[in-house]
């Protein structure tokens, strides 16, 4: 029973364009959400988070949007850079449930 | 600071063998946890600890034991390995358990059980 779902296993975008990664959840008790970035042969690293009392959080090129009524969050990366190519996981608290990840490829 | 370190990086076991995956952090973090990552499944929490002497089960604890005798170390034990435990294992730590506490992950241990 996957309570956090990332339905797109992969995404490819051109350098300089926007990358939008999506995440859906089913448990209405989740109240804090995080995005992690993972390069091959490394552990995940924290990217950005959002509390359920907000609908947007921004940090440089990264913005996370939360739509509580739709149980949906998205990560926007603008502009995308080749170094952003990685697997992105969304996660939800309090149970720390992760989605399956989306592999982002940014082409030069 | 070395951050979170994990050993070994890669291990092959035969079914029924036992082994311990080591995890250490030098950031004086209270909270430590173990995850496994399987294709199409994301990371799943195995066990966690909120401080020395305190451990608890996560989402998929069966087949694994943990202990936390010191703040720095949080080993994960497989008493009798099974092919279903073939996975990549990540250890993580954070200063506390609050929502804003960022978790720091180790580089992972890739385990193959034959």
A97·B59 Cβ contact <8 A: yes
Q: What is the pLDDT of residue B99?
A: 64
In this predicted model, what pLDDT tens digit does every residue of B16-67 receive, in sequence order? 999 999 999 999 999 999 999 998 888 999 999 999 999 999 999 999 999 9
Two structure tokens written together for B45? 């929490």
Residue for token pair 């109240």: A31
CA distances from B69 to A62, B66, B73 (A): 39, 10, 7
Spans in chain A with pLDDT lower than 50: none
Q: Who among A6, A42, A93 is closest to B107 (CB)?
A: A42
Shortest CA distance from A30: residue in chain B: B99
Residue for token pair 């939360």: A66
Q: What is the pLDDT of residue B104?
A: 93
Give yes or no for B99 touching A (CB within 8 A): yes
Which residues on chain A are in Cβ contact (under 8 Å) with B31?
none
Give yes or no for B90 touching A (CB within 8 A): yes
Residue A103 exposure: Cα atoms within 13 Å on the Cβ side: 8
């Amino acid at each position: 029973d996957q309570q956090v779902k990332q339905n797109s296993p992969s995404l490819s975008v051109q350098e300089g364009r926007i990358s939008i990664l999506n995440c859906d959840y089913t448990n209405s008790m989740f109240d804090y959400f995080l995005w992690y970035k993972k390069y091959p042969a490394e552990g995940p690293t924290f990217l950005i988070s959002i509390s359920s009392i907000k609908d947007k959080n921004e940090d440089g090129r990264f913005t996370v949007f939360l739509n509580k009524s739709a149980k949906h969050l998205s990560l926007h990366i603008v502009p995308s850079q080749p170094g952003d190519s990685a697997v992105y996981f969304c996660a939800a608290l309090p149970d720390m449930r992760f989605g399956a990840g989306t592999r982002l490829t940014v082409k030069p | 600071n070395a951050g979170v370190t994990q050993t070994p990086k890669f291990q092959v076991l035969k079914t029924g063998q036992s082994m311990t995956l080591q995890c250490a952090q030098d950031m004086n973090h209270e909270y430590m946890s173990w995850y496994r990552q399987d294709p199409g499944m994301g990371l799943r929490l195995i066990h966690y600890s909120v401080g020395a002497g305190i451990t608890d089960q996560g989402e998929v604890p069966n087949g694994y034991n943990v202990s936390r005798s010191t703040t720095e170390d949080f080993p994960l034990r497989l008493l009798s390995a099974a092919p279903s435990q073939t996975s990549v294992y990540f250890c993580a730590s954070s200063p506390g358990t609050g929502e804003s506490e960022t978790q720091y992950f180790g580089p992972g241990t890739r385990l193959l059980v034959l």
